[in-house]
Structures are given as structure tokens and as C-alpha cells.
Amino acid sequence: MNQNNLKYIKLQVEIPKNIWISKLSKDFPEEIITLNYSNHLSKIKRQVFLSTISKNNINNIYKKLKNIKQIKDLELFGNNIKLIFEVNFLQKIIHHKLTIIFPVTIHNGYGIIEIFANENHIEIFKKVFKKIKIIKISNEINKIENLTLKQKEILETAHLSGFFQYPRKITLTDLAKHLKISKATLSESLRIAENKIITNYFLKK
């Protein structure tokens, strides 16, 4: 993938009706549900934090989740629910070099997904989701405030090398060798760049 073709893409998708999060969002149509931070546990399992805009239904949502077979290790704290779920229907997305930006917002069967990817990768989403609407495509990844050229180079190289995929296509050590910098410098640069992106993202909310 050409680094110059890497773009910020925002999509609205209709989640398949048989998927638990679609059913859950339709059971609580007045709620906006967010999935925050995705931790890869295996090829088909992820740990996420689920939250709602209001606190009115969080206990009822928790009770619903307890009855869903695909959901494991539920933990309720405050306005958040920590859970583990299987992502079988997302395998086509996970296997490609797509960086999903969290949180993902779900409302009444539809999701808002933001990614860093090539425009051609929209076709992958069309194979997973029947209805898809492009909300925004921009070169925003190249316009992140306060991101130095070196940090941008490191972040894009890590992304294109599959460092953020699961399983990783390249180790931190090999990526450092490729960039001709120390492992410690790479680790620190990635953390700083990621923090700037996240901070910039939330400031625009």
C-alpha cells in the first residue's frame, strides 16, 4: 500500500441482525452505545469496554449481556462494562491492514466506524456489511497537529508493516531494525505519536 494513499475514512454501516451488538442496540433504541478500546486476546476474541451515553440503562444492558452466549467475563463498574466477545464476522476486516479508531459508536442497529486505510479497503467493508454509507474521506492522517515528520513516518511504517494487526506481522525489534533506530526509541516514539492522535481526536469531539 502506498503511504500517500493512507486516509481517514468514516463509515456508517448496518450491523448484521444476527450479531449480538445489533440486537442489543435495538433492544435499547434510545441509547447510544460505545465500544471503547479493543484488546486482542486471540484471533477470534477481543476484550472491549462497553459504555452508554446515559446511565439509565447500563444495569439492564448488563443483565442482557449475561444471557448472550458469545459474551464472556462480564464486569460492571460505573457506566462501563468490560467484556470478551468473539469477532468471527469481522475476520475479513481484521486480516487486512485496517486500523480501526476507537470508540466505535452503535445506535439502533447501525455503527459508526472510523479507520485509517486505503480507499480500496471500503470494498472489504461491503463484503461484511450489507448497507454502508461513506460519511467522510480525508487526508486527516497527514494533518494531525503537532505530529513531527519522523513520528508520522514511524507511525505509518508501523501501520503498513502490520505492527497493529493481530497477530502482528512484524515485531517491535524487527520494526526498529527496519527504521534503523533502537527498540526503546521506537517504543517511545509510538507511544508519543499515538497519544497525540488520541488527544487530537478527542479535542475535535
| Average pLDDT rounded to a whole number, residues 2-8 | 64
Same domain, 51 and 135: yes
Same domain, 132 and 151: no
Same domain, 120 and 195: no
Distance CA 80, CA 135 (A): 28
The neighbour count for residue 51, using CB atoms within 10 Å, is 18
Distance CA 165, CA 100 (A): 10
Report which of 48, 46, 144, 40 is spatially closest to residue 87, judged by C-alpha positions. Answer: 46
Band of pLDDT at residue 111, cut at 50, 70 and 90: very high
Domain span at 167: 144-203
| Average pLDDT rounded to a whole number, residues 30-42 | 77
Same domain, 125 and 152: no
| Average pLDDT rounded to a whole number, residues 40-65 | 82
Determine the Cα angle at 58 with ends 99 and 42, to 5°: 35
